[in-house]
Structure formats: C-alpha cells, structure tokens
Chains A and B, each alone.
Chain A
C-alpha cells in the first residue's frame, strides 16, 4: 500500500505547529498504525530529518499511551487503540490526517505527544481508597453482588488513554472521571469516601480546564475499553447526593 500522511508537526509546547505531508510507500496491510509510523520515521531519520514524535508503550492495547486523532476520529476508524489499529482498515492511495488530542488540559509536548498529567491529578484528588488493604481478605468475608462486581470491573478497565476527551465536542473529561467514580463507588471499600471522592474529583476535573459534559455520547462511542455512558449518569447522581447530603466533615 502507498499512503499519503498529513501529520501535525510541532517542535515543542510553545511552537505554533503545522501540518506536514509525507509519502509512505510499501506499507503492508498487516502493519499496525504505529508500525507504519515507524517506517516513516526510519525514512525520515535516514534522510536526516527529525522523526515524528508519538507516544506508545505496550503496543498491545493496555497502557493507553498511543492516542492520536486519525481522520477526525480518536484512535481512527476502529474502536480500539492506535497500536491495535491495522493498515488493512485503510485503502491503498489513502490520504490520512493525523493530529494530537486537542484539549487545553492535554497540552502538546511535541508533534503528536500530549501531556495527560491532568488525568493523574484527577485521580490524586480522590480516585483511590485510603483503607489499609493489608493481605487479601478471605474471598467471602465481604460479599459483593455479582452485578456490582461486574460493573466495578468494567469501569476499572479504563486505561486513561484520553480518547473520550479527544472525541468530545466540549473536550470534557467526564467519562474518564465517571469511570473512576463508578469503579470505586460500586464496591464496599469505596463507600466511606464516596461523597468526598466525587466532589473532589469533579472539582479537579473543572480546575484542569476540561469542558462540561452535555451527554452527547461521542466519548463512549470511541472508548477502546467500552466504558458506558451511564457511568456519567451515576457520577451526576453521586454528586447531587453529595451536595445535598448532611454528612458532617
């Protein structure tokens, strides 16, 4: 396959940045999208040019590092991570546009690499339990209904990739935040801090300059882990509960 790539190039956080067009030849349909970028970068290196910076780590769809927007869709045309997207999803001769996640809360570091530290700060604000865990408890010491355990587990599969923010017309980080709130809020260990958690995480979300959610649903549609939109409804309910709660500090 021969591909024309339009890639966002930006030297550093303060550079203005621009789109640059490259030709990539002899691409195998079995290559992953990142391998295709590797081929481009080898060529650029041999030609003495700066390779395109992109983030990646596991290359097996579990670390969440490799997010880019491909032809206007977060992670491209398949609902998966960029490292798990293959060139067979494109056609010979295609022109493909590659841009970094666009959000004030995800500033571009270089080319396609953004800083997702804002997600870490949302988690620091309350996405944990402070009960000492000790050794693993007996399996049946604390019964958890199966449906709750499943929902908590599904929410816990969020890999923090940021596709939800990238796809949201409001650049909201609410699906990510809701995944954490739901994951901990479904389990007995998460109850003591449930009210404080949602309040603090939502405040941090807003402080990071993410936009507000308007329930459009693009986030859940592109999420590689299938985090459902209804987690946001659960977060809202928890927040409204916490705001009207009479629990003392």
Chain B
C-alpha cells in the first residue's frame, strides 16, 4: 500500500461521506442537548408567569460578571447557528450524492425493515428548519406576534397559542412531532456513526433513541397545548 499518499488520502477523507455524517452526528448531539435544556425551560410555564419570565431573564444573566449581559446566550446562539448550518450543509451534500448514486429508479420498491422515521429524515428536516425560522421570529424576536407583541416571553407565548390561533398551535404540534420522528432515527444514527453500535447493544441504542425522542415530543407538546386548552393563562 503506497503510504506516501496517506496524508493526501487523509485530507481527501475529511470530505468523505463518512466524515460528513460524522459532522451531522456531532452537531445533532449538540442540538439534542439544546432541546433537552429548552424543553426544561418551557415546562417552567406551569410554575407561572413570574417563573417563566425569570427563567428567560436568567438566561441573559448567566455567566455574569465574567460574561457581559446576554453573553452566554449569544455564545449559545453562535454555537447553535453553526451547528444548524453544518448539519444542514452535510445533509444537503449527502442528499445530492444519494440522488446521483441511483440515477435510474426502481419500478417496484419495498421496505424491508426501515422505519418511517428513517424514511422521512430529509423532508422532516426541511419542515423543522422552516419551523425554527418561524419560531424565532415568533417567540424570540416577536416580529410575528399573533395575539399581540409583549416584552414578557410568557405573554408572547400565551397570546400566540390562544384557541383562535389554532393554526399556530397546529403548526407547532406538527413540527414537534416531526422533531420527534427526526430524533427517533437521528439519535440511533448518530450513535452508530460515532462508533457506539455493536450488535449486542442495538436494543439499548434503539430504546435510548425512542425514549429521548418520545420524552422531547411530549415535553414540547405540553406547553402550547396547555395554553390552547386553557390550562395555563
């Protein structure tokens, strides 16, 4: 084997399909950790307006005085945005490659064992990306404000999920379910990509992926649905 080319081969492999999916796995794990923290923050809604708004306020004070006001939040935003961009870029390259890799399609296809969630990763990902844009404009910048703008994150949220804005709630529900499906395959896939998959562990990996995905789905659904159903006002 011509070892003299190894350095060149290594740099070529940095752009390989395996490297791309590894980048997706690492950024995906970052985003899942964010979602867990975010879900916890949202559940503060059940502790009342004061607690919810305090939580949001504390996010901006975190790290002070070592960091300036809002510094921690901005670091998080940069990390999240970079993760989303890398994740989406790698997904787009792999999607294009997959399309090129099978120029003539089968006339008959049959699924053998693949799950619905593995099958919907790409379109589901697009839905989630659109949701995130809408969601930031809605609850972070308050540029879109069904039910009226407010300085209180709690009020913004309660106003936006009122029954007359059922379509907002519906879009949230659909997107959160899409996130759940995305994570069901995504967590399994990320762990496999990062080398944790052994035949003896496959059951555990599947359970871990299903439990995290289900917990995030239910946890995220509770907040908007409670507002719409009038349990929180």
Write the residues of chain A forming the contact surface with B, with a CB cutoff of 8 angstroms.
Answer: 6, 19, 69, 71-73, 97, 99, 102-105, 126, 130, 167, 169-172, 174, 193, 195-197, 199-200, 202-203, 205-206, 209-218, 221-222, 228-230, 232-237, 239-240, 242-243, 249
A6 to chain B, nearest CB (A): 8
B112 and A73 form a contact (CB under 8 A): yes
B139 to chain A, nearest CB (A): 31
- B215 on the interface (CB 8 Å rule)? no
B198 and A202 form a contact (CB under 8 A): no
A233 and B195 form a contact (CB under 8 A): yes
A249 to chain B, nearest CB (A): 5
Question: A-B pairs with the 6 shortest C-beta distances?
Answer: A237-B195, A212-B17, A72-B110, A233-B197, A211-B101, A171-B101
- B133 on the interface (CB 8 Å rule)? no
Q: What residues on A are CB-neighbors of B119 within 8 Å?
A: 169, 216
Q: What residues on B are CB-neighbors of A232 within 8 Å?
A: 192, 197
B100 and A104 form a contact (CB under 8 A): yes
Measured CA separation A230–B110 after assembly (Å): 23
Known contacts A104-B102, A172-B101, A233-B192; A217/B21 CB under 8 A? no
A214 and B1 form a contact (CB under 8 A): no
- B77 on the interface (CB 8 Å rule)? no
A-B contacts, CB under 8 A, total: 165
Write the residues of chain B forming the contact surface with A, with a CB cutoff of 8 angstroms.
Answer: 1, 3-4, 6-7, 9-10, 12-14, 16-22, 94, 97-98, 100-114, 118-119, 121, 185, 188-189, 192-199, 202
Q: What residues on B are CB-neighbors of A209 within 8 Å?
A: 97, 100-101
A133 to chain B, nearest CB (A): 16
A104 and B7 form a contact (CB under 8 A): no
Name the one of B14, B121, B193 contacting A233, with C-beta atoms under 8 angstroms.
Answer: B193
Known contacts A203-B16, A230-B198, A233-B197; A196/B1 CB under 8 A? yes
